Amino acid sequence: MKITTPRLTHHVLTVEGRTTGEPVLFVHGNVSSSAFWRDTMAALPERYRPLAADLRGFGESDPAPVDATRGVRDWSDDLAELAESQGLTGLHLVGWSLGGGVVLQFLRDHPALVRSLTLVNPVSPYGYGGTEGPDGRLTHPDGTGAGAAAANPDFVARLKAGDMSDESPTSPRNVFRTSYVKTPDGIADEDFYVRSMLTTRVGEHNYPGDPVTSAAWPGVAPGKHGVLNALAPTHFRLDDLHEIDPKPPILWIRGADDVIVSDASLFDLAHLGALGVVPGSPGTPAQPMVTQTRAVLERYGNYREAVLDDCGHSPHLEHPAEFRRLLTDHFGEA
């Protein structure tokens, strides 16, 4: 269904006939849409009211520009206004990857609206790229190593062209097979998810954003617009999460074999430099993304971590039964 608020016209995925119950708001990741939550939502017990919104620039929501200088607040403010328009309080928030950062920002700004929070392979609270150590210190003051210029240009071009093929390692289909999931043979409806990826609006104001170069290695820095710049550590940092009140319980679910969000991510230019894939590395260490998330949550206190073995970036697709069990147990405890 479509819901228009002063900020945005949202496309919201719902389950037919489920108009009452405890609201569960699902938030998708980068280069995807609410469609990735379809099966999880349908399998939730009747006591819950599942909803999944397409973020701006994804799916069928407005392709509104993303002001990266606000970090992920364009998205979290959109969702807060959506929740207010529908009278949703006592929310169970579930955020995957980019969506994990969005729901953390929502929690930071609106803790009283949140009953529980679930993070699914979330982006680090210190953004994506350009930081070192568990405290997320910047490698360079300008965030060098992060931002839209770090995106693979062939992947961006194929995304924009709506490429459904598997002819190149950088096609959306092959990125799904090699990065979104660990074992693609176990995914029954691959075309469905690839089509969801292709709903991503491509451009300097959406994905990946405006590219900026840097004189320092690896030669990229954050711009002011779009998705990857919004995740740059100069724009997005949540190291004060422990200061909020109240502190609803957080469940952190992650795949043990994730190659997108990890302490040795294959999408982190610093780690690729250490491997020799990106030449000229001065020895910049990889961003310890998982370690950073754990450090922030340890300060927060009220959290639990669940690690799924033989699982990549998408536990809800790869181990759906175990994922739903963890989710509903968490909701029930909250």
Q: What residue ranges define each of the domains in the chain, with the CATH number in brackets?
A: 2-333 (3.40.50.1820)
SS3 per residue for 19-77: CCCEEEEEECCCCCCHHHHHHHHHCCCCCEEEEEECCCCCCCCCCCCCEHHHCCHHHHH
| pLDDT band of 149, cuts 50, 70, 90 | very high
Average pLDDT, the chain: 97
Average pLDDT over residues 212-220: 96
Write out pLDDT tens, residues 8-32: 999 999 999 999 999 999 999 999 9
**For position 23, what pLDDT does the model report?**
98
Whether the pTM exceeds 0.95: the reply is yes
State the residue for tokens 């490429």: 163
**For position 242, what pLDDT does the model report?**
96
**For position 333, what pLDDT does the model report?**
95
Give the C-alpha distances (Å, rounded to integers) separating 303 from 22, 209, 279: 21, 33, 39
**For position 282, what pLDDT does the model report?**
97
Write out pLDDT tens, residues 55-108: 999 999 999 999 999 999 999 999 999 999 999 999 999 999 999 999 999 999
Separation CA 220–CA 249 (nearest Å): 37
**For position 119, what pLDDT does the model report?**
99
Average pLDDT over residues 220-230: 98
**For position 40, what pLDDT does the model report?**
98
Write out pLDDT tens, residues 152-210: 999 999 999 999 999 999 999 999 999 999 999 989 999 999 999 999 999 999 999 99
**For position 63, what pLDDT does the model report?**
96
**For position 59, what pLDDT does the model report?**
98
Burial label for 277, CB within 10 Å (0-12, 13-18, 19+), is exposed
Write out pLDDT tens, residues 289-323: 999 999 999 999 999 999 999 999 999 999 999 99
Residue 246 DSSP label:
S
